A and B are shown apart, each in its own frame.
Chain A
Amino acid sequence: MARTQVLLMAGTQKGAFVLRSGLDRRTWSISGPYYAGWNAYHVNWSHRHGMLMAGVSSTRYGPVVGLSRDLGETWEDAHEGLGLPEDSGWKVNRVWYLADGPPWDPDALYAGIEQGALFRSGDGGRSWTLNRGLFDHPTRAAWTPGNGGLCLHTILFDPEERRVYVAISAAGVYRSDDGGETWAPRNRGTAACFLPDPDVEFGQCVHRVVMHPSRPAVFYQQNHCGVYRSDDRGETWRTIEEGLPATFGFAMAVHPRDPATLYVVPEGADESRLAVDGKFRVYRTRNGGERWEPLANGLPQEHAHLGVLRHGLATDPLDPCGVYVGTTTGQIFASRDEGESWSLLCDFLPRILSVEAAVVET
């Protein structure tokens, strides 16, 4: 009998975990770790293919895309084609991001990898093809890695036009207007504050980019050097930091239905990367970043020196939407009311690298 449930997928430093609940999101079960001991950088659900997909890597045994069609009971390691040209001198280090393709490429899957490359699969994830347009971009030679490596960590699609956006730390945002054939940097207005001249065409350390498909021209960005918004498909960016206690952070998530509602987790500074003043708070905007408000009800507010990585914040599509945040110390906090109140959903997990939520029928 078909069953509708909420999946909360957590990628951690020591494997992948899958939490499940009914639509009330009150009682959760947890299974895992899958790929125990391996880094699970991103665990996501493919709605198109009805399966879990996980970007996992072992420092000993290399990276693979894990595919599971039974909610984690069994996994298939996919790696065919997941390599970089020999003459490039680069090797695939980790799979950072996995996503379903857009409506104009409906059966495809896409992967972002370290070293700043994009892959596409046309066979349900079993084999992968490198996007040469991005890999051979003339600016690549000047790309430098962020603290976590030269990672392509975000892939976004215009739902109607053949536009693709990727975010790379620390190359910046790149956009393709022809389905991925050619690419150009789109970073004007965002700062590379770690360079002598922060106003550069590329080289920004973009941490996370989100957009809502109902407004394909509007993008939001948590950057190493600030929080930004673009209203013109990335052509220009402006800061949206009013009300934030700090402009440094990693994670960002967008509301499933309201394109003007976003969530971020500010962190004190580049050096500390901890919750501001020991108060762990998620910040929300209801007006596209014009003003941010703190969300703290149910979150620890004393000596809570927690950190959240760039994929550590997610929303589910229910109404009211759920919001989930996973910390580097292994906690998952969850809200069933769009952030108004929170509870500790899970503790003692390994360092959380990503959280994703989906409603699935199985």
Chain B
Amino acid sequence: MARVRLPTVLRRYAGGEAWVEAAGGTVRQVLADLGTRYPTLAHHLLDERGDVRRYVNVFVRDEEIRTLQYLDTAVGPADEVLIIPSVAGGQPRSGGTALR
């Protein structure tokens, strides 16, 4: 079972836990396994197409999956999957698609 570290703000959707275990040989499977137990957590990590949300980074072996095989990145049984919000997220830039 891989260990998955959750962002602080999303831990309440997994019983308050910072680390949770999940089964699966790829990131996709690991997140799907989390989703069966914590559907709202999964909603906040993956959009309605099943893509990782833009400002959510997922690291396996210190590499972000978008530089690897994305959701098909292999996850070993002793691996840690770190889900960390991107520093670029938080609020939209002013102008353009700014609020209202």
Contact = CB atoms under 8 A, between A and B. Distances in A.
Interface of A: 13, 37, 39, 58-62, 64, 77, 79-80, 82-84, 86, 91-92, 147-149, 250, 309-310, 351, 353
Interface string B44-69: 11011100010110000000000000
A91 B9 contact: no
Contacts of B44: 58, 61-62, 64
Given A60-B85, A62-B47, A79-B40, A149 B97 contact: yes
A59 B100 CA distance: 15
Contacts of B55: 59-60
Interface of B: 9-10, 13, 39-40, 43-45, 47-49, 53, 55-56, 85-86, 89-92, 97-100
A148 B99 contact: yes
Nearest to A59: B89
Contacts of B43: 62, 64, 77, 79
A351 B56 contact: no
B82 to A, nearest CB: 15
A13 B98 CA distance: 11
A61 B55 CA distance: 8
A147 B85 contact: no
Interface of B is mostly: loop
Nearest to A64: B43
A242 B98 CA distance: 32
A80 B42 CA distance: 12
A132 to B, nearest CB: 16
Nearest to B91: A59
A147 B45 contact: no
A59 B92 contact: yes
A82 B86 CA distance: 24
A112 to B, nearest CB: 14
A235 to B, nearest CB: 29
A47 to B, nearest CB: 26
14 contacts: A13-B91, A58-B44, A60-B85, A60-B89, A61-B85, A62-B43, A62-B44, A62-B53, A77-B13, A79-B43, A82-B48, A91-B47, A148-B100, A250-B100
A61 B9 contact: yes
B48 A60 contact: no
**Residue of A60, A62, A91, A353 most packed against chain B (CB within 10 A):** A60
Given A60-B53, A60-B55, A62-B44, 13 more contacts: A37-B90, A39-B99, A58-B44, A60-B86, A61-B53, A77-B43, A79-B40, A79-B43, A91-B49, A147-B100, A148-B100, A309-B100, A351-B99
A91 B10 CA distance: 21
Contacts of B97: 149
Contacts of B90: 37, 59-60
Would you list the 8 A-B pairs with minimal beta carbon distance, nearest first? A83-B48, A148-B100, A61-B44, A60-B89, A60-B55, A79-B43, A77-B40, A60-B85
Contacts of A91: 47-49
